[in-house]
Amino acid sequence: MNFLKIVLPVFKGKKTTEETNPLQKKSGYEALDEWVDAVMKLHEAQDTCFGYPCNQDIHLMSFYAWFVGSGLQELTLNNAGDPFSDEPAFVMSTQKFEREVMEWFAPYYDFEPDKYWGLVTMSGTDGNSHGIYFGTTSLKRKTGKLPVVYVSDEAHYSNYRLTYLQNLDVRLVKTGVDGCMIPEELEKVLDPSRPCLMVYAMGSTFKGAVDNQKALNAVLEKYPEMEVYRHVDAALFGGYLPFTEYRKMVSHKELGYDSISISGHKFFSINSPSGLFFCTREVYDNQQDISVPYLNNNMRMINCSRSGIDPLKFWWFIQKIGHQGWSKEANTILERSDYLEAELKRIGWFVLRNQLSNTVVLKRPSERICKKYMLATGYDEKLGGNLAHVVVMQHVRRKYLAQFIEELQQESGEK
């Protein structure tokens, strides 16, 4: 009995009884089984994986048990086509559930029913791709001109990559030490003679910077003749902010953005790359309706085939975790981030944390500590050079944060 008492809390969130494998443990292929053993060892060490925004507290055993039990693994599920079409393009489709997922999430971003469109994407990058592509098409349709894309020099690289892919002119906007776009710098590079496609960072990758959309929009409003499209890259923060008291930070109504992209495998813990993309109905109506008769004549999204399984996982989590569960998780990661920030300050270790961020930037510790805690590293001259960050995801527990602080303290004592 003592054994249970001691061991269970340590494995909490990892190996609950539900998570033990009721099916076969071994594949019979040596190379594969060896690799699984190694990966499972790494998984045991996830408690101290601090540097990356993937939640490692995943509970999908009941999903897989049902999925295999139902026989669905014998089918190819494919959500090709528009989830908001009256009839799915392909019979073996989970679009009914995809649509329910979008309908469930839409109010969290303050989209009114019938005034938005969206889909479950393949990733945050796929959502950014739709934002930039849809933005370009809308602006071109309205003005006859291609836009200039403005994005901060701290934004995720996918945004620059996508502008190259779509052959668009891009201007990087300088950021302050906090990683947020500087409104005066936007004004300096702005070309009001062409339409403007803004990509706002809602949690930049390294510093967790949230661009101040209101201040930046005020700059754009000085040029009322300039047509503007606003896309928000909210891969990580767009997951948890809607479940906190700061939900206005991601509100379409409050901020007036046209589209937003959120990753599914970050806060929402989907175990395959996936995401959510929302845009206004107006943006959707301005897209090219490429007519493909065998796909219900409605192919506005970029990809043809899309996952039929990821929407089911989202749907499953809505039932299993839902508002209450995600609210609790969102508040917990912010509390733990507060704790980490306060503790770093207490021991006199350089720390930078943006408001509402679960990404805590700090002076880079020794290589040993970086490796042990799998910290992501960065460099910024303005902040004294070598840096690292901790992304406080659901699996990053207070106990391990306390241990991390202790090790930092020891290290600074040794010097």
- Residues near ligand PLP (CB under 6 A): 53, 123-125, 156, 158, 201, 203-205, 233, 235-236, 263, 273, 275
Instruction: Compare residues 232 and 405 and give the one whose CB is closer to ligand PLP.
Output: 232
Toward ligand PLP, which CB reaches closer, 90 or 317?
317
Which DSSP letter does residue 175 get?
A: B
Q: How far is the CB of 3 from ligand PLP (least distance, A)?
A: 40
Q: In what order do the strands lie in the sheet with 351-353?
A: 351-353, 359-363, 385-391, 376-380
Cβ closest to ligand PLP, residue 252 vs residue 265: 265
In the complex, least distance from residue 252 CB atom to ligand PLP, rounded to whole angstroms: 18
Residue number, 147 or 179, with CB nearest to ligand PLP: 179
> Smallest distance, Å, CB 202 to ligand PLP?
7
* Shortest separation between residue 126's beta carbon and ligand PLP, angstroms: 7
Q: Which is nearer to ligand PLP, 46 or 158 (CB)?
A: 158
Q: Of all residues in this chain, which one has the CB nearest to ligand PLP in the complex?
A: 124
Bridge partners of residue 230, in order along the sequence: 198
**Closer residue to ligand PLP (CB): 195 or 203:** 203
Taking residue 413's Cβ as centre, other Cβ atoms within 10 Å add up to 8
CB 359 → ligand PLP: shortest distance, Å?
9
Contact 88, 97 (CB under 8 A): no
Please tell me the distance from the alpha carbon of residue 233 to that of residue 236, in angstroms, as a whole number: 9
Give the residue with the Cβ less far from ligand PLP, 262 or 408.
Answer: 262
Reduced to 3 states, what is the DSSP secondary structure of residue 299? strand
Beta carbons within 8 Å of 126's beta carbon, 6+ residues apart: 261, 275, 277, 302, 303
DSSP state of 137: H
Closer of 158 and 358 to ligand PLP (Cβ): 158
Residue 122 to residue 144: CA distance in whole angstroms = 30
Closer by beta carbon to ligand PLP, 176 or else 273: 273
From CA 283, how far away is CA 117, in angstroms rounded? 9
Least distance CB 180 / ligand PLP (angstroms): 13
Nearest-approach distance from CB 113 to ligand PLP, in angstroms: 27
What is the closest distance, in whole angstroms, from the C-beta atom of residue 412 to ligand PLP in the complex?
Answer: 30
| DSSP H/E element including 411 | helix 398-414
Cβ proximity to ligand PLP: between 53 and 195 the closer is 53
Minimum CB separation from ligand PLP for residue 121, in Å? 8
8 A C-beta contact, residue 225 and residue 192:
yes
Question: Amino acid letter at 206?
Answer: F
**What is 310-373 written as a DSSP string?**
HHHHHHHHHHHTHHHHHHHHHHHHHHHHHHHHHHHHHTT--EEE-TT-SEEEEE---HHHHHHT
Residue length, the chain? 415
Q: Taking the complex as a whole, how short is the minimal distance between the CB of residue 169 and ligand PLP, in angstroms?
A: 21
Of 215, 201, 171, nearest to 189 (Cα)?
Answer: 171
**How many beta carbons lie within 10 A of that of residue 7, not counting itself?**
11
Nearest residue to 110 (alpha-carbon basis) of 234, 203, 27, 294: 234
Within 8 A by CB and 6+ apart from 229, the residues are: 135, 138, 139, 147, 195, 196, 197, 198, 258, 259, 283
